[in-house]
Chains A and B, each alone.
Chain A
Amino acid sequence: MTTCNRATILAGAGVAVIVAGIVSYFASANPDGLEKFQQDFGADRPVHKGIEAPPMAFKEYHLKWLGEGFWANAAGGVIGALAVLGILLGIGWLMRRRRAAAGTQSQAPRC
């Protein structure tokens, strides 16, 4: 048990990387609840004009350069999890900076 923020980030990122990079390889390939619902009703084809996502280096969470195996899935999962971590730490930092400007201070322990 620790109140250390850095330890929390390292441990939390470690768990997320393991789950997204390794455990996810063993995920069920069955259609998910919504896909099953749409298939059951024969309504799994798009009927409206959607907005295309920009072309990216991933397909089904697999990094395309690495093909379709374990490492492609691991790369996709790790990059995604770390991207979410980075974005949220960035948002949090910006929000805290705004709060600091408003004059409130916190005295969390340093480590």
Chain B
Amino acid sequence: MHISSGFLSPPVWGTMAAVSGAALAVSLAGAPKRLDERRVPLMGVMGAFVFAAQMVNFPILAGTSGHLGGGFLLGILLGTPLGIIVMGSILVVQSLLFQDGGVEALGANIFAMGVMPCLLGGAVRWLWTRQKPGLLVQAVTFAGGIVSVLAGATAVAVLLWWSGSLPAQVTLPGAIGVMDFIHLWIGVVEGLVTVAVARFVLAVRRDAVLDAAPQTGVKREAA
């Protein structure tokens, strides 16, 4: 869902650069307070994993493909601020190193695939940090994964429309409708993958996911 170079008008990408820049600044300023020694490796490997997963396009509908966003998952496992930092880093690497996503569109792409899904993920994070996430928590997370993709897709449709990059006869609701219909199916996969990966990471490194896990009394197998 990376917006390429040349599709956003200067006022639009300028606005989004300011919005995402502010979100990154707030995240960087706010994150260290909650940065445990065990959270840094988790942040690194989850970033590498989301980058890798984004390379794996899976087919949906006729002749279309989609890939994981990952911001919602990062918001759940790392919290919103660290999630935004991780998604920002991934999108910068994709744009500058691999020309995936326009340089001037970075702010817009960080907003659609980072800021918004990470805010949503952070909002359901508390459900996962309680003792055992049951079926209801997983169902809510699955639905949240769909919502997070649709939120990003809606933002992209609005920004392209606002930039005058769609034909004049296309209405804003029409653009959002088509964009969201395509991304509904990508969102289903996002929801399923988010639940599966969140369960796995919580099972193997619960201490690194939680904010203030007790240091003593943590059972360790011989490393």
A interface, CB within 8 angstroms of B: 1-9, 11-13, 15-20, 23-24, 26-34, 36-38, 40-43, 46-54, 56, 58-61, 76-77, 80-89, 91-93, 95-96, 98-99, 102, 106-109, 111
Partner of A27 from B4, B56, B153, B163 at Cβ < 8 Å = B56
Q: Which of B36, B47, B166, B218: most chain A CB closer than 10 A?
A: B47
**Given A20-B51, A92-B35, A7-B223 contact (CB < 8 Å):** yes
**Cβ-defined contact, B215 with A108, below 8 A:** yes
**Given A2-B220, A53-B95, A84-B93, A12-B8 contact (CB < 8 Å):** no
**Cβ-defined contact, B7 with A33, below 8 A:** no
Inside 8 A of A47's CB, which chain B residues have their CB? 6-7, 163-165
A interface majority secondary structure: helix
In the bound complex, how far is the Cα of B53 from the Cα of A15, in angstroms? 10
Min Cβ gap A106→B in Å is 5
**Cβ-defined contact, B32 with A98, below 8 A:** yes
**Cβ-defined contact, A12 with B53, below 8 A:** no
B9 an interface residue at 8 Å Cβ cutoff?
yes
In the bound complex, how far is the Cα of B215 from the Cα of A48, in angstroms? 54
**Cβ-defined contact, A83 with B5, below 8 A:** no
**Cβ-defined contact, B47 with A30, below 8 A:** no
Chain B, residues 59-82, CB within 8 Å of chain A (1/0): the string is 110011111000000000000000
Inside 8 A of A19's CB, which chain B residues have their CB? 49, 52-53, 55-56
In the bound complex, how far is the Cα of B11 from the Cα of A79, in angstroms? 34
**Cβ-defined contact, A85 with B47, below 8 A:** yes
In the bound complex, how far is the Cα of B55 from the Cα of A17, in angstroms? 11
Min Cβ gap B178→A in Å is 6
| B172-201 contacts to A (CB < 8 Å) | 175, 178-179, 182-183, 186
Min Cβ gap A33→B in Å is 5
Inside 8 A of A111's CB, which chain B residues have their CB? 223
Partner of B55 from A24, A34, A107 at Cβ < 8 Å = A24
B42 to A, closest residue via Cβ = A8
**Given A28-B58, A42-B167, A95-B32, A9-B44 contact (CB < 8 Å):** yes
Listed A/B pairs (6) with beta-carbon separation below 8 Å: A15-B49, A33-B153, A37-B179, A48-B165, A51-B103, A56-B96
